[in-house]
Amino acid sequence: MTEYSTLMPADAVVALRSLPRRVTAALGVFDESTEARAHQLSRDGVSAVEVLLGAAATLAVLEKGLRDVTILDTPALHPAVTNRQLRSIEISTNEPTEAVLEQFSDRVGSTAALAESIKGHDWSRTGTVGDVSVSALDLLREAVAVGVDALAKVEKIIASLD
């Protein structure tokens, strides 16, 4: 499902927990200039703030899937957990960058906390998307991929605006 196929739960939690700090560093010190850059559209027509909101929304879907897999027997999961094209969330906002970063950080933190609560064989519990089986570990690895991808996009956008 992702390029993180060997990532183990403890390492995934560390990666998730590092994302808010890394995104904050990519955005730079919060001032009027940072605020303007974070909301400025890149050549691709998306801003850093929109990337973070989209990632937070995707993480919410993955977190719900992870929660469902850990408490239900073979739940049906949202198709977006395996199909990245269903994640293209059009989000435009005037929210302050710090508020968006807080939303992203909260979502990453809650996903990491949920992952920390899952033990042993529960990582092999599965849900389904159509006829495809998806494990709790697959969902966690995809959450890391979403977060890291958002970080890379934010870094690229900010660098392109300098």
Which tens digit of pLDDT belongs to each residue from 23-34?
Answer: 999 998 777 777
Average pLDDT, the chain: 91
Cβ atoms of 144 and 15 within 8 Å: the answer is yes
Q: Is residue 128 part of a domain?
A: yes
Range of the domain at 124: 9-161
- pLDDT (0 to 100) of residue 2: 44
What whole-number percentage of the chain has pLDDT above 90? 69
Please state the pTM of the whole predicted model. 0.92
Within-domain flag for 73: yes
Let me know if residue 4 belongs to a domain.
no
Count of C-beta atoms within a 10 Å radius of residue 57: 17
Residue 142's CATH number: 1.20.120.450
In a domain, 1, yes or no: no
pLDDT at residue 117 is higher than 90:
yes
- Structure tokens belonging to residue 101: 């970063």
CB-neighbour burial class of residue 136 (10 A; exposed 0-12, middle 13-18, buried 19+): buried
Query: What total number of domains does the chain contain?
Result: 1
What are the backbone angles phi and psi of residue 2, rounded to the nearest 5°? -140, 175
Does residue 3 lie in a domain region? Answer: no
pLDDT value for 89: 63
